Amino acid sequence: MKVNDAVGKWLGWIGIVLGVIGFFWASIWMGIGAIVLGLVGIFSSQKVLNGVAMGAGVIALIIGLV
């Protein structure tokens, strides 16, 4: 599966936004959303951006579970 470069950028940025929102509100759901968007976007050429989105999602998920 190959994702278009522009789609990969959008998925990465939306994932980062969800992860940051997850730091403050609905941590578990926003974290899961950021992780899923990062995983889908990792199939584009924007691997670092989507990796950051997954990282933000994991941190939000950890905050929600603690």
- What pLDDT does residue 56 have? 94
Q: 39-66: per-residue pLDDT in tens?
A: 998 888 888 999 999 999 999 999 999 8
Residues 12, 6: Cα–Cα separation, whole Å = 10
Rounded to two decimals, the pTM is 0.88
Residues 23, 50: Cα–Cα separation, whole Å = 18
Mean pLDDT of the chain: 90
Residues 42, 56: Cα–Cα separation, whole Å = 14
pLDDT at 30 over 80: yes
Residues 1, 11: Cα–Cα separation, whole Å = 15
C-alpha distances in Å from residue 46, one per residue of 9, 49, 51: 6, 6, 9
Residues 60, 66: Cα–Cα separation, whole Å = 10
